[in-house]
């Protein structure tokens, strides 16, 4: 073996070892790999630049940017409230259907993040019986279309890099849909293997929030249970004020009426889960002050507000601010916020107007603690534009009328123009770590091919490969990728295995498509470990799961999933 080949091989082995045996971020490892290849002159800088502008990578970045805006809509939140039913079977079917279908078009990690809250807070079933199935449903749904998961787009970028036109939008659908339905049914029958335990305690400070039921609200005439008010993430309905009478506790059969004041306690950062309910208005929202930023203050011991209510002092006019939420350490508070008598030391979250900072009475009455960042609620027309625009962009790409990257670029520009998103927000949410992983993996693949290592390895095994059934080679590629994805991230597994799959294809004279699909599906098949896929990590941290919980239910799911995918690939392509 010549020195250039030896250097590239050593860098490849070091990268694999670092991914498997260290806790370093994949972006740091692939970044180091790329720098090592440049330093040893086994990679040209022009190749790195070319990899950074790969069409598949650009499409993935644009998709993630647009997904940030789609996540602001109430679509997933409204579905999440309706998931939990009185029986486990209904709850499982609703959860699986919503998650599987949403993940086929939206970022599956974002879908899981949105649905964890309602599932954790449900009072009907142990959350641990639904959280792992939630993650698996998102993984399975992500394999149905080209844009369902970043793994598919990474393999697509490799295909384009090698001169192939890439995947069509529905190339995954037959295999992903079949495997998803079969695994979903199996998952339901395996749910007794999951533990029964309570969710981990959330670490947040509880505030008291008030919301008014307006005329025409979708809540009126329905019970608390029918309105799914018990499934709001980290927010709890503790009492209702009706005609100055406090009703507490609030039973699931309690019927909501117009002009009711609903009193919640919980995590103020989850306030958007109340805002998306039609006809429910926050205390500060009625004054038109509820924006992205909230100011947290403490009522000082010299304040003129002590022992007075917000209504008595005319809080809005006095400070150009409205109270969003109240917290009092060491004492439970109750009733309408406007009639709550303030005490020294009370924490108030304020939605402030333009003149708040200029008022000379602020320092006399409050100690300013911090600012809280909230997700801004979209206007109705902005929500519809975002959802319909996204569906339209995907539809045009699926029909091959407009390239997906071009459609996403124009759609992102429209979202900025109508102020659903902004350039600053895009810069903040730019997936830099993922970009480094993909560019680094593409660069490593280029070095492996240019140095002749792939050719040498396939040449060495060529006599054996020529006598091998193509189906066995396909199974081998799938199993190696699946094993790797349990130890490293799904994206890294796809990036590392594609060059070798491509070498086998060239040596055996086989079509590239089944092997590319095998790599994509296997890289997403992280069912046995909580560490190989981001959605698994999310549910792992949301409950007190053990590694063995994933092994028990994930192993049969992984076996069935692989069997269905490989069987269909063999039938279709060989």
Q: How far apart are CA 438 and CA 383, in angstroms?
A: 32
Quick: pLDDT tens for 260-276: 988 888 777 777 777 77
d(CA 523, CA 338): 55
CA distance 565 to 574: 14
What pLDDT shows up at residue 330? 63
pLDDT at 466: 64
H or E element, residue 282: strand 280-282
What tokens appear for 84 in the block?
A: 């939990």
pLDDT score, position 569: 95
With 90 as the cut, is the pLDDT of residue 188 above it? yes
Greatest Cα pair distance, the chain, in angstroms, is 90
Extents of the domains making up the chain: 293-373
Q: Which pLDDT tens digit goes with each residue over 159-180? A: 888 888 889 889 999 999 999 9
pLDDT at 482: 92
- The mean pLDDT value for 30-57 works out to 87
Provide the pairing of β-strand 235-242 with 293-299: unpaired
Within a 10 A sphere around the Cβ of 294, how many other Cβ atoms? 25
Look at residue 286 in the predicted model and tell me its pLDDT: 54
- pLDDT given for residue 193 in this prediction: 92
pLDDT value at 562 more than 90: yes
The percent of residues in the chain predicted with pLDDT above 70, rounded, is 93
CA gap 321, 310 in Å, rounded:
11
Burial class (CB in 10 A: 0-12, 13-18, 19+), 53: exposed
**Which of helix, strand or coil describes residue 366?**
strand
When the pLDDT of each residue in the chain is averaged and rounded to a whole number, the result is: 84
d(CA 444, CA 30): 8
Phi and psi at 256, nearest 5°, equal -75, 135
pLDDT at 237: 87
Mean pLDDT of 107-121: 80
pTM for this prediction: 0.73
In percent, the amount of the chain with pLDDT more than 90 equals: 25
Q: If pLDDT is split at 50, 70 and 90, which confidence band does 385 have?
A: very high
431 CB-side CA count, 13 A:
19
Can you read off the two tokens belonging to residue 571?
Answer: 């039938």
More confident residue, 559 or 249: 559
- Residue of 563 and 250 predicted with greater confidence: 563
pLDDT class of 426 with cuts at 50, 70, 90: confident
The CATH code that applies to domain 293-373 is 3.30.70.1450
Most confident of 65-79, 496-510, 526-540, 552-566: 552-566
554 vs 71: which has the higher pLDDT:
554
Residue bearing the bigger pLDDT, 427 or 101? 101
Give the pLDDT confidence of 278-336 residue by residue, as tens digits. Answer: 888 876 665 555 555 678 888 888 888 999 988 888 888 888 888 888 888 766 677 77
Question: Exposure of 517 by Cβ count < 10 A (0-12 exposed, 13-18 middle, 19+ buried)?
Answer: buried
> Please, which pLDDT band fits residue 353 given cuts at 50, 70 and 90?
confident
Residue with the larger pLDDT of the pair 57 and 554: 554
**In this predicted structure, what is the pLDDT of residue 442?**
78
Backbone angles phi, psi at 44, to 5 degrees: -90, 150
């Amino acid at each position: 073996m010549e020195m250039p080949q030896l250097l590239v091989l050593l860098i490849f082995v070091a990268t694999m070892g670092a991914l498997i045996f260290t806790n370093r971020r994949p972006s740091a490892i692939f970044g180091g790999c790329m720098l090592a290849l440049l330093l040893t002159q086994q990679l040209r800088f022009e190749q790195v630049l070319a990899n950074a502008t790969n069409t598949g990578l650009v499409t993935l970045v644009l998709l993630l940017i647009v997904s940030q805006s789609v996540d602001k809509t109430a679509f997933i939140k409204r579905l999440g409230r309706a998931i939990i039913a009185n029986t486990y079977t209904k709850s499982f079917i609703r959860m699986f259907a919503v998650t599987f279908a949403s993940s086929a078009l939206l970022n599956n990690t974002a879908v899981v993040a949105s649905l964890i809250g309602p599932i954790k807070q449900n009072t009907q079933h142990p959350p641990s019986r639904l959280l792992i199935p939630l993650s698996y449903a998102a993984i399975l749904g992500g394999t149905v279309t080209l844009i369902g998961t970043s793994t598919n787009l990474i393999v697509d970028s490799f295909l384009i890099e090698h001169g192939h036109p890439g995947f069509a939008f529905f190339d995954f659908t037959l295999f992903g849909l079949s495997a998803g339905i079969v695994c979903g049914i199996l998952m339901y029958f395996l749910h007794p293997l999951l533990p029964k335990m309570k969710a981990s305690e959330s670490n947040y400070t509880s505030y008291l929030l008030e919301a008014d039921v307006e005329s025409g609200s979708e809540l009126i005439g329905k019970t608390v249970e029918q309105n799914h008010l018990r499934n709001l993430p980290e927010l709890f309905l503790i009492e209702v004020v009706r005609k100055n009478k406090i009703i507490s506790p609030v039973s699931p059969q309690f019927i909501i009426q117009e002009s009711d004041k609903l009193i919640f306690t919980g995590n103020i950062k989850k306030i958007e889960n109340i805002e998306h309910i039609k006809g429910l208005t926050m205390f500060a929202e009625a004054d038109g002050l509820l924006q992205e930023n909230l100011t947290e203050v403490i009522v000082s011991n010299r304040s003129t507000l002590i022992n007075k209510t917000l209504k008595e002092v005319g809080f809005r006019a006095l400070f150009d601010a409205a109270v969003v939420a109240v917290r009092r350490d060491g004492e439970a508070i109750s009733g309408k916020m406007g009639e709550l008598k303030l005490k020294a030391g009370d924490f108030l979250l304020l939605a402030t107007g333009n003149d708040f900072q200029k008022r000379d009475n602020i320092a006399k009455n409050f100690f300013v603690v911090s600012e809280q960042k909230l997700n801004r609620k979209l206007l109705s027309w902005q929500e519809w534009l975002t959802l319909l625009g996204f569906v339209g962009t995907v539809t045009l790409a699926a029909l091959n009328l407009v390239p997906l990257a071009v459609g996403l670029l124009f759609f992102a520009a429209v979202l900025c123009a109508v102020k659903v998103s902004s350039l600053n927000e895009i810069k903040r949410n730019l997936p830099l770590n993922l970009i480094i992983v993909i560019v680094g993996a593409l660069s490593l693949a280029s070095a492996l091919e240019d140095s002749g290592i792939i050719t040498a390895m396939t040449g060495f095994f060529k006599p054996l490969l020529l006598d091998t059934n193509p189906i066995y080679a396909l199974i081998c590629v799938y199993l190696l990728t699946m094993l790797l994805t349990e130890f490293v991230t799904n994206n890294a597994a796809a990036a590392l295995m594609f060059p070798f799959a491509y070498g086998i294809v060239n040596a055996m004279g086989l079509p590239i498509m089944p092997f590319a699909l095998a790599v994509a599906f296997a890289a997403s098949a992280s069912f046995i470990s909580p560490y190989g896929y981001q959605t698994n990590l999310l549910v792992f941290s949301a409950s007190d799961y053990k590694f063995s919980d994933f092994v028990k239910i994930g192993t049969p799911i992984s076996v069935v999933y692989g069997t269905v995918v490989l069987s269909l690939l063999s039938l279709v392509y060989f």
